[in-house]
Amino acid sequence: MKKASSLSELGFDADGGASGFFRPVADGASTPTSQRRRLTKISVIGAGNVGMAIAQTILTRDLADEIALVDALPDKLRGEMLDLQHAAAFLPRVRLVSDTDLSVTRGSDLAIVTAGARQIPGETRLNLLQRNVALFRKIVPPLAEHSPEALLLIVSNPVDVLTYVAWKLSGFPASRVIGSGTNLDSSRFRFLLAEHLQVNAQDVQAYMVGEHGDSSVAIWSSMSVAGMPVLKSLRESHQSFDEEALEGIRRAVVDSAYEVISLKGYTSWAIGYSVASLAASLLRDQHRIHPVSVLAAGFHGISDGHQVFLSLPARLGRAGVLGVAEMELTEEEARRLRRSAKTLWENCQLLGL
């Protein structure tokens, strides 16, 4: 049985009796319309492990005035919403709403899609494609209709191909359709390097680009700490630091998701922080650089005709993707990136969108 969870649902006045509780200090004391701040609304579609980790990180970072949660499971959805609402005394004031119907997302500034199947231990992300494309066909068109000016941030896997799918199905410009991409892989990469070098991961400049998945590419040539090239010092301190050792570290980054999934069944906390950092850069117009999934046609020798989405370092702001960095890659890095693009483009083409 659905129980009332607010005083208005129990029959109390909708304004909570506030007019009887406080005496106005002066006539017309309310904020003039011209000075009212525009409220920020974020929607999270899919209130599973990932969606809820994102919602709670966004709440603690005070990024939204309203958060709308959507899921296909009504009881779980309401339970998640209430559980977060009960933290109200410890958080900034946020209106939290939820519904199984996407109309609750109306007027979103940012819509984050996490709905869909996730990997079982050992399964690749690309394996999820057909199931999640079918879901996106149901979710993306109404989402775009309810919030035609929104930024779309795709998280469901395989994230790069699904970002392409969301771009096609929404009809939005590519600058407003972004995949969370290798923002997470790059954090894992920086964590491993920081542990090795005994420094803070925030001081390690290092990017993984390409597919968020098995063919991701580690950009060793531009990796630095305090402006110092890391590869050079690793090679000087470890005599046997060759291509095989580098591939071993890249593989450790790729395998780290598989390891967490085999241990706890899913990944959630790191992607929660990763997506909240993207939300902050976008909605607060930070112009920060993140490796995220963007339309990569024409970059690093990827054919102009291949409308593939994959991660490259991009400058993010309130309008979405403001620009993509023209990284200097070694020939080997560019070759690996093109191979990653080829794998993704082959998958996109199969969809016939």
Ligand X SMILES: NC(=O)C1=CN([C@@H]2O[C@H](COP(=O)(O)OP(=O)(O)OC[C@H]3O[C@@H](n4cnc5c(N)ncnc54)[C@H](O)[C@@H]3O)[C@@H](O)[C@H]2O)C=CC1
Question: Which residues of this chain interact with ligand PYR, rule CB under 6 A?
Answer: 125, 157, 184, 257, 267, 271
> In this complex, which beta carbon is closest to ligand PYR, that of residue 32 or of residue 122?
122
Is the separation of the CB atoms in 312 and 296 below 8 Å? Answer: yes
> In this complex, which beta carbon is closest to ligand X, that of residue 162 or of residue 230?
162
Local structure of 148: helix, strand or coil: coil
Which of the stretches 8-16, 167-175, 265-273, 310-318 binds ligand X when contact is defined by CB under 6 A? 265-273
156 is a contact residue toward ligand X (CB under 6 A): yes
Residue 140, marked binder: no
> In this complex, which beta carbon is closest to ligand X, that of residue 230 or of residue 278?
278
Q: Which of 111, 155, 178, 206 is in the footprint of ligand X by CB under 6 A?
A: 155
209 is a contact residue toward ligand X (CB under 6 A): no
Site for ligand X in 309-348 (CB under 6 A): none
Q: Which of 105, 108, 114, 307 is in the footprint of ligand X by CB under 6 A?
A: 114
Both tokens of 6, joined, read 């607010």
Closest-by-Cβ residue to ligand X is 48
> In this complex, which beta carbon is closest to ligand X, that of residue 49 or of residue 234?
49
By a kind-dependent CB cut-off of 5 to 8 A, residue 320 interacts, out of ligand PYR, ligand X, none, with none
Phi/psi at 100 (5° precision): -80, -15
Phi/psi at 317 (5° precision): -150, -170
CA distance 175 to 309: 11
Q: How many CB atoms lie within 10 A of CB 280?
A: 18
Query: 316 has which bridge partners?
Result: 288, 321
In angstroms, what CA-CA distances link 136 with 8, 205, 324? Answer: 35, 34, 26
Residue 48, marked binder: yes
Which of the stretches 43-51, 187-195, 248-256, 300-308 binds ligand X when contact is defined by CB under 6 A? 43-51
Both tokens of 289, joined, read 């650089």
Burial of 164 (0-12, 13-18, 19+ CB in 10 A): buried
Q: How many CB atoms lie within 10 A of CB 31?
A: 8
Catalytic residues: 212
Question: Who contacts 91 (Cβ-Cβ below 8 Å, separation ≥6)?
Answer: 59, 60, 62
Residue 132, marked binder: yes
> In this complex, which beta carbon is closest to ligand X, that of residue 48 or of residue 320?
48
CA distance 292 to 301: 18
Shortest spacing between CB 303 and ligand X, in angstroms: 25
Which of the stretches 34-42, 113-121, 241-249, 281-289 binds ligand X when contact is defined by CB under 6 A? 113-121
Local structure of 252: helix, strand or coil: helix
Which of the stretches 68-76, 140-148, 165-173, 318-326 binds ligand X when contact is defined by CB under 6 A? 68-76
Shortest spacing between CB 23 and ligand X, in angstroms: 45
Residues contributing to the annotated binding site: 46-51, 71, 132, 155-157
